[in-house]
């Protein structure tokens, strides 16, 4: 199910038995429109636009076309047949991984380096209290199994460095850029105007040098701000003023899972293999006994593929990341071999964790009703997906 940006509407498309497309449109989790046996993507776009216009919403057609196109790539069949053979025998042509450039930018003390170290170095919030400011530009390469290999440029935000960014380094900074991540210290209102000017300057250069760059703004340290929603609403209007490019806004903090949600989306955005991972996870979700599925990178806790909405992912990622660390400590202390699978039950969830390889974990959110009737089939399907993921990761 895909949310239409800027609205409270969602839609879902699936392939039916006749190899035609079925469309459902939701509002507040209720189906308000559905149509079966659609022939092509253009008709889906027209239907979505018509429904939105009838509800006094004017969303640009090119934006609707883009999100429909993205969903078409991972569209899954509705039928429940020969899952294991269907998935294991199907391989999408994945282009070779190309290192993608991510630019972390913001004024001094915004928290850019802490954000990197929290995610990619696994530091705790208490360890980050002693992080020193970045001097100039720090280049950091990271490899998430064989999912993605981002090159992260962390730009120091002190005044003495800004002049060089604006002059001799400008083209070097923005060329070949995939993701622009701008960090705003939500607690320092006095810097909002200067920060907005720096952001607008960066956007102008992105528009001129690399207009296909995905743009994110992190309103950081949100846990320290009273009346957070009011401040964020003001900041969102300030930083989007006069900008005609699409911006994704997130409220973040180093003490919760919000950063993991943002970086999971970024990793899925820049990795061609994430399209395939989402494809098989969406088909896995359609199997009896499974309500959602995720693939998590163990070292960072980032989600490399998911069928869940962002609001649902938050809790699951935090729970699983903590569990992974506890399992690793338990295994080391008792000198056990690596666990292959583990079941976890809470008041709201029943979760099955299946080991993919040393770096990846398949997480299945199970249907608590009559799951005992389907658990063996769920495990079989989960293992089939793990086999396919290992092939995708070029693992023998």
Predicted pLDDT at 90: 46
Predicted pLDDT at 322: 63
User: Residues 301-347: pLDDT tens digits?
Assistant: 788 888 887 666 666 666 666 666 666 666 666 555 566 788 878 77
1-79 maps to CATH 3.40.50 = no
Predicted pLDDT at 88: 46
Model confidence at 293, in pLDDT bands (50, 70, 90)? very high
Report the alpha-carbon distance of residue 277 to residue 273 in Å, rounded: 6
Q: Render 338-365 in DSSP notation, one character per residue.
A: PP-EEEEE-SS-EEEEEE-SSSEEEEEE
The answer to whether residue 235 scores a pLDDT higher than 90 is: yes
Alpha-carbon dihedral 363, 369, 373, 375, rounded to 10 degrees = 10
Predicted pLDDT at 396: 37
The answer to whether residue 103 scores a pLDDT higher than 90 is: yes
- State how far Cα 323 lies from the chain centre: 20
Predicted pLDDT at 128: 81
Block residue for tokens 């309500």: 291
Give span(s): CATH 3.40.50.300, the chain.
Answer: 101-268
Give span(s): CATH 3.30.420, the chain.
Answer: 1-79
Once rounded to an integer, what is the mean pLDDT over residues 339-360? 82
User: Residues 22-70: pLDDT tens digits?
Assistant: 899 998 878 899 998 888 888 999 999 999 988 888 888 888 888 888 7
273-396 maps to CATH 3.30.420.10 = no
The answer to whether residue 84 scores a pLDDT higher than 60 is: no
Query: Which DSSP helix (H) or strand (E) runs through 52?
Result: helix 41-54
The answer to whether residue 4 scores a pLDDT higher than 80 is: yes
What pTM was computed for the model? 0.69
Q: Which two tokens stand for residue 109?
A: 């003390």
Report the alpha-carbon distance of residue 365 to residue 374 in Å, rounded: 13
Q: What is the topology classification, in CATH, of domain 101-268?
A: Rossmann fold (3.40.50)
Q: Which residues contact 118 (CB under 8 A, 6 or more apart)?
A: 125, 128, 254, 259
Give span(s): CATH 3.30.450.30, the chain.
Answer: 273-396
Q: Is 251 helix (H, G, I), strand (E, B) or coil?
A: strand
User: Residues 362-386: pLDDT tens digits?
Assistant: 999 998 777 888 889 999 999 989 9
Predicted pLDDT at 226: 87
């Amino acid at each position: 199910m895909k949310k239409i940006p800027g609205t409270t509407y969602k839609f879902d498309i699936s392939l039916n038995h006749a190899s035609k497309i079925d469309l459902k449109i939701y509002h507040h989790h209720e189906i308000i429109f559905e149509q079966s046996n659609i022939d092509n993507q253009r008709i889906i776009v027209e239907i979505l636009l018509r429904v939105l216009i009838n509800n006094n919403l004017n969303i640009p057609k090119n934006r609707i076309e883009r999100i429909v196109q993205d969903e078409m790539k991972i569209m899954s069949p509705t039928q429940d047949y020969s899952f294991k053979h269907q998935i294991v025998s199907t391989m999408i042509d994945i282009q070779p991984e190309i290192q993608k450039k991510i630019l972390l930018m913001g004024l001094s003390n915004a928290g850019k380096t802490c954000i990197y170290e929290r995610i990619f170095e696994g530091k705790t919030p208490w360890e980050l209290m002693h992080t020193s400011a970045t001097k100039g530009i720090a280049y950091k390469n990271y490899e998430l199994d064989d999912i993605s290999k981002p090159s992260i440029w962390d730009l120091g935000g002190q005044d003495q460095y800004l002049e060089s960014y604006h002059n001799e380094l400008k083209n070097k900074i923005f060329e070949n850029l995939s993701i622009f991540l701008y960090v705003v210290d939500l607690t320092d209102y006095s810097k909002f105007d200067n920060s907005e000017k720096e952001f607008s300057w960066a956007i102008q250069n992105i528009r001129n040098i690399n207009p296909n760059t995905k743009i994110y703004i992190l309103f950081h340290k949100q846990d320290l701000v009273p009346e957070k929603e009011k401040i964020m609403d003001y900041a969102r209007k300030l930083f989007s003023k006069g900008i005609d490019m699409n911006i994704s806004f997130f409220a973040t903090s180093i003490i919760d899972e919000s950063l993991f949600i943002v970086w999971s989306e970024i990793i899925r955005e820049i990795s061609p293999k994430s399209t395939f991972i989402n494809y098989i996870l969406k088909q896995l979700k359609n199997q009896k006994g499974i309500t959602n599925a995720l693939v998590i990178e163990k070292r960072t806790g980032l989600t490399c593929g998911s069928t869940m909405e962002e609001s649902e992912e938050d809790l699951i990622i935090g729970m699983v990341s903590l569990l992974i660390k506890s399992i690793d400590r338990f295994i080391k202390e008792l000198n056990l071999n690596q666990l292959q699978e583990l079941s976890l039950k809470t008041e709201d969830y029943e979760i099955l964790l299946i080991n993919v390889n040393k770096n990846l974990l398949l997480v299945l959110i199970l249907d608590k009703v009559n799951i005992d009737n389907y658990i063996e089939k769920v495990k079989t399907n989960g293992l089939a997906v793990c086999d396919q993921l290992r092939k995708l990761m070029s693992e023998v």
